[in-house]
Homo-oligomer: A and B are copies of this chain.
Amino acid sequence: MSRRGMAARNQRSEALSKDRIVEAAIALLDAGGAQALTFRALAARLETGSGAIYWHVADKNELLAAATDHVVARVIADIADEADPRAAIRAVALAMFDAIDAHPWAGPQLFREPWRSSMPLIFERVGAPLMALGLTGRRLLDSASALVHYILGVAGQNAANPRLAPQDVDREAFLAHVAAQWMQLDPEAYPFVHQTALQMRDHDDRAQFLFGIDLILAGITR
């Protein structure tokens, strides 16, 4: 922590640091999912011992939170500025959707300890355009909250879906399987599910997600 410590860290060859650890953790998570992040695998990749990692990181929770923050912060920062508030909200929503699609392990983490992680960043990017739309007070907070909950809800849900093959082959087979299951349900007890099963098979996650955003925006601004 002192000047001394920081100087030492820079001169030891390939010294450990929280940044290097988080970077390696993200690489492991992206490559093999949540279960691929273990302190042993991490130590092997960093060519050190598991004990050394604990000098820089309190525990696995903190490591996962830091990895998620890292990913979310970068994605949020990369969002292009939009003049129209509605477009700005759509941009944030899509950015989060794509981020969790690319890093599915981050979805559950955003639920586990929401207050700790980059939640304020997300709330800000959703809430600021709502202020520009003229919302204030309780309605402002509640509307932002609805949008953020919806965004994270869809993102978390999608993260649970099996990983997509490059050719989308697995995805189609998977959706067909679920649709078949839904259609086997009793049409009298499950009229809605039975009827919409086919459309479910062909639906586009991204488009459906955006439809929901527009639904909420319509409710907010009507």
Contacts and interface: CB of A to CB of B under 8 A. Distances in A.
Contact of A127 (B128, B150, B185, B196): B196
Interface string A108-132: 1001111100001001100110110
A200 B154 contact: no
Given A218-B222, A222-B222, A146 B212 contact: yes
A125 to B, nearest CB: 9
A160 B222 CA distance: 32
Interface string A131-150: 10000011011111110011
A170 to B, nearest CB: 14
A171 to B, nearest CB: 12
- Counted per complex, copies of this chain come to 2
Contacts of A199: 137-138, 141
Interface in A52-93: none
A191 interface: yes
Interface residues of A, number: 58
Contacts of A151: 153
Among A146, A208, A211, A220, max chain B CB count under 10 A is at A146
Contact of A208 (B113, B123, B145): B145
Contacts of A218: 218-219, 222
Contacts of A123: 192-193
Contacts of A149: 150, 153-154, 157, 212
Interface of A: 107-108, 111-115, 120, 123-124, 127-128, 130-131, 137-138, 140-146, 149-154, 156-157, 159-160, 178, 181-182, 185, 189-193, 195-196, 199-200, 203, 208, 211-212, 214-220, 222
9 contacts: A115-B181, A120-B193, A124-B190, A141-B196, A143-B211, A143-B215, A212-B216, A216-B219, A218-B219
